[in-house]
């Protein structure tokens, strides 16, 4: 009898605690939305559009959704000034723009950053993505595999070192010199990797402009310690496992900061056809040398090049070992390959690994498609043409479920796993 009473008491207290915690969550979000609305209202002129709009805050553990607006299909119920519901399992949880319940949203994962400036930056960044189609910027991403190579990383880091010095320059002439060197390192990188001209530009117009928007709405230009802010940001960026999908979050905000000081709304000059590198070279009235080889060695030494080069040599050795591991695991040994039909992805952009000639490895990723849900914790290879995903061979298949040590798969009705020439595929029954 005591056990029964304890069980009901425990259940009752759990319900009360959960309801109390949710009330605190709601109160915090209502306050955060108010500060966000105030910040976006001050910056309506940034894009001549109302940035504030539909936001979904999602708890990854419970998939409970807190929204600032109602949806059109009544998936959300009004509660204390917000709209609450549960995100379906077929929708990946990520910081992104998405369509659900009959309307466009910016989705953000909970919990939010503790610092107000970081919260507003994140929320305004994702609201930019929601607004992106109205601004006529194509929401497209490139993997920029060259930025995982030794040479690509060296010349990106040298560019960032030059930008760092430009932030602390005492005169405009000195600032321009460092900006010229930064853009020279960038241009030389493009000579080494010609495809990078387009690939980096696509990523910078997508994530770079979004991050610049977020930081602007958060008021970073008025920060008296903006130089130190970006210095720390560069140092934190360089700690990322890879640069291939995260570099634009740092480069464009810094170039944009310098441009802002001369033309407040420089960003309105940018269209989907703009090459941002060419734009900044012209904007800052910079003349690059015709022959980089005459100057590069001297400039490299100015920007800590010897140390950077030594660090990247060590990393390259480690990278080759990692590539050998993933090539064996996902290509040479038995594996499971699934063809995309209407896939949606959720992943960490800071640690993706290009696998030359095969595609890109995502150490952790969640994929939903018409065939089901694939959750990966130990590496998945997405092909270069974005048509398939490959994981190691299953060690257990049980009905509509399959798994290995590094992934699990839940199949929708009508799909099955079939062995084919020593490997496995998912196909309709």
10 Å CB burial of residue 369 (0-12, 13-18, 19+) is buried
Whether 93 and 198 map to the same domain: the answer is no
- Residue 233 inside a domain? The answer is yes
Task: Answer yes or no: are the C-beta atoms of 347 and 363 closer than 8 Å.
Answer: no
- Residue 324 inside a domain? The answer is no
Q: What is the pLDDT of residues 392-416, one digit of tens each?
A: 999 999 999 999 999 999 999 999 9
pLDDT of residue 10: 41
Task: Tell which residue, 375, 377, 387, 355, has the closest CA to residue 143.
Answer: 355
Task: Tell which residue, 81, 90, 344, 51, has the closest CA to residue 212.
Answer: 51
- Looking at 104, 135, 166, the residue that finishes a domain is 135
pTM higher than 0.85 for the full model? yes
Is 197 a residue whose pLDDT tops 80?
Answer: yes
What is the dihedral sign for C-alpha 349, 341, 198, 265?
A: negative
- Residue the block writes with tokens 């040398």: 289
- Looking at 135, 170, 191, the residue that finishes a domain is 135
Whether 163 and 268 map to the same domain: the answer is yes
Q: What is the pLDDT of residues 210-252, one digit of tens each?
A: 999 999 999 998 888 999 999 999 999 999 999 999 999 999 9
CA distance 84 to 19: 13
By mean pLDDT, which of 35-49, 266-280, 292-306 is the weakest? 292-306
* pLDDT band with cut points at 50, 70 and 90 for residue 27: confident
Whether 222 and 268 map to the same domain: the answer is yes
- Residue 387 inside a domain? The answer is yes
CA distance 325 to 342: 29
Whether 110 and 168 map to the same domain: the answer is no
Mean predicted confidence (pLDDT) in 367-378: 97
Whether 54 and 79 map to the same domain: the answer is yes
- Residue 10 inside a domain? The answer is yes
Whether 222 and 115 map to the same domain: the answer is no
Mean predicted confidence (pLDDT) in 111-127: 97
- Residue 170 inside a domain? The answer is yes
- Residue 313 inside a domain? The answer is no
- Looking at 135, 166, 182, the residue that finishes a domain is 135
Whether 236 and 186 map to the same domain: the answer is yes
By mean pLDDT, which of 10-19, 66-75, 314-323 is the weakest? 10-19
CA distance 277 to 49: 25
Task: Look at the chain and report how many structural domains it folds into.
Answer: 3
pLDDT of residue 20: 40
Whether 163 and 292 map to the same domain: the answer is yes
List Cβ neighbours of 274 (8 Å cut-off, separation of 6 or more): 205
Cis check: omega of the bond before 111, within 30 degrees of 0: yes
Whether 186 and 291 map to the same domain: the answer is yes
Q: What is the pLDDT of residues 136-162, one digit of tens each?
A: 898 887 779 999 999 999 999 999 999
Whether 57 and 102 map to the same domain: the answer is yes
Whether 261 and 339 map to the same domain: the answer is no
Token pair belonging to 156: 């990106």
Give residue 96's domain range. 2-135
pLDDT of residue 282: 98
pLDDT of residue 24: 65
10 Å CB burial of residue 223 (0-12, 13-18, 19+) is middle
Is 11 a residue whose pLDDT tops 80?
Answer: no
Task: Tell which residue, 360, 376, 365, 377, has the closest CA to residue 326.
Answer: 360
Strand order in 344-347's β-sheet?
Answer: 344-347, 365-369, 372-376, 407-411, 401-403, 396-398
- Residue 13 inside a domain? The answer is yes
Is 268 a residue whose pLDDT tops 80?
Answer: yes
**What is the number of alpha carbons within 13 Å of residue 394 lying toward its C-beta?**
23
Instruction: Give the max Cα distance, the chain.
Output: 88
- Residue 321 inside a domain? The answer is no
Whether 282 and 354 map to the same domain: the answer is no
CA distance 311 to 161: 15
């Amino acid at each position: 009898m005591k056990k029964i009473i304890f069980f009901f008491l425990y259940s009752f207290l759990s319900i009360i605690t959960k309801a109390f915690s949710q009330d605190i969550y709601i109160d915090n979000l209502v306050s955060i939305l108010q500060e966000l609305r105030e910040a976006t209202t001050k910056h309506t002129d940034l894009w001549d559009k109302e940035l504030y709009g539909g936001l979904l805050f999602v708890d990854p553990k419970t998939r409970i959704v807190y929204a600032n607006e109602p949806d059109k299909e009544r998936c959300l119920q009004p509660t204390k000034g917000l709209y609450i519901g549960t995100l379906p399992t077929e929708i990946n949880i990520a910081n992104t723009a998405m369509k659900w319940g009959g309307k466009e949203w910016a989705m953000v994962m909970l919990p939010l950053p503790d610092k107000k400036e970081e919260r507003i930056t994140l929320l305004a960044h994702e609201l930019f993505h929601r607004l992106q189609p109205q601004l006529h910027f194509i929401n497209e991403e490139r993997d920029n595999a060259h930025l995982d190579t030794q040479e690509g990383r060296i010349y990106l880091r040298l560019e960032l070192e030059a930008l760092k010095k430009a932030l602390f320059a005492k005169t405009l002439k000195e600032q321009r010199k460092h900006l010229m060197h930064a853009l020279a390192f960038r241009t030389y990188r493009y000579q080494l990797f010609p495809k990078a001209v387009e690939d980096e530009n696509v990523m910078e117009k997508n994530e770079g402009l979004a991050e610049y928007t977020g930081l602007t709405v958060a008021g970073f230009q008025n920060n008296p310690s903006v130089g130190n802010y970006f210095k720390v940001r560069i140092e934190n960026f360089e700690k990322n496992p890879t640069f291939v999908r995260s570099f634009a979050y740092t480069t464009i905000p810094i170039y944009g900061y310098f441009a802002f000081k001369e033309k407040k709304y420089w960003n309105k000059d940018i269209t989907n056809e703009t090459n941002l590198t060419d734009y900044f070279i012209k904007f800052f009235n910079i003349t690059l040398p015709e022959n980089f080889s005459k100057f590069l060695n001297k400039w490299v030494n100015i920007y800590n090049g010897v140390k950077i080069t030594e660090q990247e040599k060590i990393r390259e050795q480690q990278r080759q070992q990692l590539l050998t591991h993933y090539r064996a695991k996902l290509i040479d040994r038995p594996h499971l390959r699934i063809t995309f039909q209407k896939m949606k992805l959720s992943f960490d952009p800071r640690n993706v690994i290009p696998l030359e000639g095969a595609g890109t490895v995502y150490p952790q990723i969640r994929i939903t498609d018409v065939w089901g849900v694939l959750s990966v914790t130990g590496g998945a290879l997405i092909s270069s043409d974005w048509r398939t995903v490959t994981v190691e061979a299953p060690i257990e298949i049980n009905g509509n479920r399959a798994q290995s040590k590094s992934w699990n798969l839940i199949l929708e009705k009508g799909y099955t796993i079939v062995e084919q020439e020593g490997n496995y595929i998912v196909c309709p029954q």
